[in-house]
């Protein structure tokens, strides 16, 4: 169980609650999110922790903010204040090196998700590519980043910012021998929004 699971009572409970609230079957949800029914069942039973990419697709499919999957039900307020030591860390994939820290968790009906993202140094393998609904903003806090968007690469340095349509395939990796730090704002497309 991850630290996020400790704080939320389990991502699986939130996934099941959101799926049932939308009247979706396990099979229909799995198909929409592009995972197997068995895997989604394991997620709902807290036997597997989904990657951030899968959680983003789940939130999109259910028409909810990503933080709804990471926060206990009924704990949202009109304002969200998250101290640095209260960020919810979530690793993406198996030792891929990406670390997302959810920095905004408690606001009622948020229109954006806010993260601190540590991007890894490339390990010789093809980086994980992302593609999901909405729009994103990346601001480099520390290090140098190689940002790829629709096959074009950009080198971003501390203080550089990029805003883009996240439906287009993209990824970011460190462009040095140290991981880089980004501040990320994701504005998802929400069903019925």
pLDDT confidence bin for 94, thresholds 50/70/90? very low
Measured distance CA(96)–CA(114) in Å, rounded: 21
Which of 183, 100, 174 lies closest to 144 in space, CA to CA?
174
CATH number among 3.30.2290.10, 3.40.47.10, 1.10.260.40, 3.30.200.20, domain 3-70: 1.10.260.40
- Degrees to nearest 5, angle at CA 135 with 130 and 139: 85
The counts of H helices and E strands in the chain are: 6, 9
Question: For residue range 107-136, what is the model confidence (pLDDT) as tens digits?
Answer: 777 788 888 999 988 888 888 788 888 899
Residue that wins the pLDDT comparison between 87 and 75: 87
Sequence ranges of the domains in the chain: 3-70, 84-187
For residues 49-61, one letter each, b for 16 or more C-beta atoms within 10 angstroms of the residue's C-beta and e for the rest, the string is: bbbbbbbbbbbbb
- With residue 43 as reference, give the H or E element that holds it: helix 37-44
- Return the pLDDT at 70: 72
Residues 6+ apart with CB under 8 A from 86: none
**3-class secondary-structure state, position 161:** strand
Question: For residue range 57-70, what is the model confidence (pLDDT) as tens digits?
Answer: 888 888 887 777 77
CATH number among 3.40.630.30, 3.40.50.300, 2.60.120.10, 3.30.70.270, domain 84-187: 2.60.120.10
**Count of alpha carbons within 13 Å of 188, Cβ hemisphere only?**
23
The residue ranges of DSSP E strands in 47-179, in sequence order, are 88-91, 99-102, 113-119, 135-142, 145-149, 152-156, 161-165, 170-174
Cα 99 to chain centroid distance, Å, stands at: 10
pLDDT confidence bin for 163, thresholds 50/70/90? very high
Mean residue pLDDT of the chain comes to 82
């Amino acid at each position: 169980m991850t630290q996020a699971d400790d704080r939320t009572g389990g991502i699986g409970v939130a996934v099941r609650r959101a799926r049932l609230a939308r009247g979706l079957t396990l099979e229909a949800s799995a198909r929409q999110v592009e995972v197997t029914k068995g895997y989604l069942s394991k997620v709902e039973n807290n036997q597997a922790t989904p990657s951030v990419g899968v959680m983003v697709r789940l939130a999109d499919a259910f028409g909810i903010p990503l933080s709804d999957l990471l926060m206990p039900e009924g704990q949202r307020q009109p304002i969200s204040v998250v101290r640095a030591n209260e960020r919810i860390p979530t690793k993406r994939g198996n030792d891929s090196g990406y670390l997302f820290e959810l920095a905004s968790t408690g606001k009622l009906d948020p229109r954006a998700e806010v993260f601190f993202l540590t991007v890894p140094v490339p390990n010789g393998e093809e980086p994980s590519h992302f593609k999901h609904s909405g729009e994103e903003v990346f601001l480099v806090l520390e290090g140098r980043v190689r940002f790829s968007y629709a096959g074009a690469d950009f080198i971003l340095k501390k203080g550089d910012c990029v805003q883009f349509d996240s439906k287009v395939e993209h990824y970011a990796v460190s462009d040095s021998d140290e991981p880089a730090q980004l501040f990320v704002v994701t504005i998802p497309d929400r069903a019925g929004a």
